[in-house]
Amino acid sequence: MNSVSYVRTEMASVRPAPKMYVGLVAWARENLFGGWLNSVLTILSILAIAFFLVESVPWVFQSSWTATSLRGCREAIAATYGEGVSGACWAVIRERYLQLLYGFFPSDSYWRPNLTLILLFVALAPILFTRFPRKMLWFSAAYPFLGVWLLWGGSLWDIAVIPLGLAVGCAAFFAIARAFGSLPGIIGAVLITLLFWIFLAGPLAGILQGIIPFLHLESVESAKFGGFMLSTTIGVTGIACSLPIGILLALGRQSDLLIVKSICVGFIEFIRGVPLITLLFVASTLLNIFLPPGTNFDLILRVIIMVTLFASAYIAEVVRGGLASLPKGQYEAADALGLDYWKSMRLIILPQALKVSIPGIVSTFIGLFKDTTLVSIIGLLDPLGLSNAIRADGNWNGIVWELYVFVAVIFFVFCFAMSRYSMYLERKLETGHDR
Amino acid sequence: MNYRRLMAVAAVAGLVSGVAGAATLDDVKAKGFVQCGVNTGLVGFAAPDADGNWTGFDVDYCRALAAAVFGDAEAVKFTPLTGKTRFTALAAGEIDVLSRNTTWTYSRDVDLKFTFLGINYYDGQGFMTHRSLGVDSALDLDGATICIQTGTTTELNLADFFRANNMSYEPVPIETNAEARELFFAEACDVYTTDRSGLAATRATSEDPDSLVVLPEVVSKEPLGPLVAHGDDQWADIARWVLNALIIAEEKGLTAANVDSMMANTNDPEVARLLGTEGEYGAMVGLSSDWAANAIRATGNYGEIFDRHIGPDTAIGLSRGLNALYTDGGLLYSPPFR
């Protein structure tokens, strides 16, 4: 027989957990003071942070925003906060922030870089996020030409004939390929495109300009580009062009065709073996000597080409890492389905390889974007070059930290956004079989 | 931009025409502006202001040149150049004239094939120390730590000076003037050495100029001046005589303000020749007769340019010193205008 001596009939009231085990105290005990070593490290870190804040916060806030020179800043700070206080002279940022952002771009045309940046996000949206309508990709394809027109100005038709040439080339490819096979098709298409650009594009642009004359913006020469506008132009173009080139190089490096493979390997190893600054010097000084005298080959364009080539080599290696991480079975499965090379790459191999490569690709992009500051060494006035030029103004000679802090904050915002996007993309593409 | 097309066309044109030995003056007149290479930023000598206009001592020479050629001081475009890119830019014809505080040396003149047009600023390397060190001669600097820009002639001059005086020093290599300032003010080095104009600028804009002292010794000759590429003597003559005209103008008391009245009534034959009211001196070099008057009207004479950008009333506060006219005990001396 069961003999139950006591059965509780109602629930005991829930008591809160001991204070030691919940909330902030428990978190601190567990994470900051778990053991003597951690406690010591925690205290040292707090001291270091406190020291940094005590030193920097007064400097940041006991500052002057209104002075017109460094001397004025010092006087204003001394008058407001007492003698001997050293504070930041943010007045230089107030006076020069437009220059740091836009360089020497004509101030009545600031809407053009602004619009270019906004349209950049519109063009990127369908590429970066799948929930946007696919039709927007047409805009993305047109964007590079639109952006060039907005930034450099001139007649829209001068630029519009370039994609037109590409279209003519495509049409020629299909026509010739149907009749003579694909290799003559490619050769013919390239030739026809080049001929179109060299001989037909100019007169055609002139004629179109005559018919519809109002699509004309004031021309802005490259020498007027500077500041973050220059960094972003070089960075974004480099990023956009280096990804496709890098993927092709990675595929080429794995190719069985000897010539394709050796060209790709040679290119990648050469570019990776040379510092970016050397390539920039080649762009700024050596190219002049090889080109015919009087050729005015835009310096910014030269830099963009070099930066793109440099980044492509790195992207190629990152993508190759992704390709190598796929098991051989994936390639064999693609072959077994009867897909040709490009289809198997596009539908099976690359989607998986690129997914694995995302962190590497994005960190290459971030590195590329920050490397754009190297152009100050060849005399382009990017934010760092401009900070030197601003310092050369008699009023601001001696300003150092304020300019660098401003530049650093803006760079951080850009790079942090890119890194966040990469993490979003990884989570979104997470399909569960990590390797 | 349709660069591919341009490039291809240019390449073909280049092949067809070969190296055309066109006169720089004609090219400049055809494009409508003078392309002038300047420093990317050096206090008093070249810097862009908040509106992006370049100003400075070297910049004003370019404006005077533009005014002489076109009668318009704004007909000039500036290419900011670093110490590493300046000579290739000039040699490749990207710029028409380089006015970038460049020291006239034998090898630059002869080996790099440039024509120096004269000297518009006599500089020299000096030393600056903290007053608290109690040093008043560079000969007392034995064993000092010295902040020095790498890869410049100043580095070599420094080594020469210390070796000649049998002293030792500890170099602190730095890359830019801004870096040197920070290290020097933080007393990471006892001495900062660079051109004395640069020392003066650094001292004048420090928080406490009286705590710094520029030592009297000058250990090198740094004659700075504008230069053009070899191969076009007419263009070199124009550029040289624009500089000379500015110096003569100061000698003769011609200023931006009084040049017009002097043109109308002067009794000095050299002034009359310079301003083009007598003789056909402009035509000799392919310019209008009033080219010098235009240059002086645009920028003022040498002394006005000096005072405006680097003189005693500016943040840099340089005195004329060697850069005074020869009549005032300086070295500025222009050949006669006749």
The DSSP result for B2-21, as a single string, is -HHHHHHHHHHHHHHH-S--
Q: What percent of chain B stands above pLDDT 90?
A: 64
Ranges of each domain in chain B: 25-122+225-328, 125-220
The DSSP code for A276 is: H
| pLDDT at residue B210, rounded to an integer | 87
Is A289 part of the contact surface with chain B (CB cutoff 8 Å)? yes
Mean pLDDT of B84-100: 90
Of residues A152, A288, A391, nearest to B41 (C-beta) = A391
Q: What does CATH list as the number for B25-122+225-328?
A: 3.40.190.10
Mean pLDDT, rounded, of chain B = 88
A398 and A365 both lie in a single domain: yes
- Counted residue by residue, chain A has a size of 435
pLDDT tens sequence across B205-244: 788 888 999 998 899 998 999 999 999 999 999 999 999 9
**What does the pLDDT read at residue B23?**
87
8 Å CB contact of A224 and B52: yes
pLDDT at residue number A34: 82
Query: Does residue A316 share a domain with residue A192?
Result: no
Same domain assignment for residues A73 and A42: no
**A115 falls within a domain:** no
Q: Does A189 or B328 have the greater pLDDT score?
A: B328
Whether A136 is covered by a domain: the verdict is no
Provide the domain count of chain A.
Answer: 4
Hey, are the CB atoms on A400 and B19 less than 8 Å from each other? Answer: no
Q: What is the largest CA-CA distance in chain B?
A: 69
Let me know whether A294 and A424 are in one domain: yes
pLDDT at residue number A425: 83
Size of chain B, expressed as the number of residues it contains: 338
Question: Is residue B10 predicted with pLDDT exceeding 80?
Answer: no
pLDDT score of B305: 96
Do A289 and A423 belong to one domain?
yes
Q: Which amino acid is at A412?
A: F
Residues A392 and A73: their CA atoms lie apart, in Å, by: 17
> Cα–Cα distances in Å, from B229 out to A136, A183, A284, A378, B114?
53, 49, 18, 20, 4
> Which residues are CB-contacts of A176 (< 8 A; sequence separation ≥ 6)?
A184, A185, A188, A189
Beta carbons within 8 Å of A6's beta carbon, 6+ residues apart? none
B 188-207 → A contacts, CB under 8 A: 201-202, 204-207
> Is the same domain home to A272 and A326?
yes
Please check whether residue A105 lies inside any domain of the structure: no
- Beta-carbon contacts of residue B100 (< 8 Å; ≥ 6 apart): B37, B38, B39, B45, B46, B58, B81, B86
**A394: which chain B residues are within 8 Å (Cβ-Cβ)?**
43-44, 47, 201, 205, 314-316
Look at residue B15 and tell me whether its pLDDT is greater than 60: no
pLDDT band of residue B250 (cuts 50, 70, 90) is very high
Residue matched to tokens 């906060």: A81
Longest dimension (CA), chain A: 113
Of A104, A135, A173, A144, residue with least CA distance to A233: A144
Classify residue A423: in a domain, yes or no: yes
Q: Is A90 helix (H, G, I), strand (E, B) or coil?
A: coil
A71 and A57 within one domain = no
Are A81 and A44 in a shared domain?
no
Range of the domain at A29: 21-61
**pLDDT for res B78:** 94
Class of B125-220 in CATH: alpha beta
Q: Which of A102, A420, A418, A368 is nearest to A237 (CA)?
A: A368
- Chain A CB contacts of B90 under 8 Å are none
Please give the pLDDT value at position A200.
79
List of chain A residues with pLDDT < 50 = 435
Total Cβ atoms within 10 A of residue A62: 15
Q: What is the pLDDT of residue B11?
A: 43
B143-170: pLDDT as tens digits? 999 999 876 778 889 999 999 999 999 9
Residue B127 contacts residue B191 (beta carbons within 8 Å):
yes
Regarding whether A25 and A75 lie in a shared domain, the answer is no
Residue numbers in B near A109 (CB within 8 A): none
Domains B25-122+225-328 and B125-220 share a fold: yes
A92 and A212 assigned to the same domain: no
Tell me whether B90 touches chain A (CB under 8 Å). no
Other C-beta atoms lying within 10 Å of the C-beta of residue B206: 18
Residue A234 forms part of a structural domain: yes
List CB contacts (< 8 A) between B47 and chain A. Answer: 389-390, 392-394
* B314 in reach of chain A (CB within 8 A): yes
SS3 of B39, please?
strand
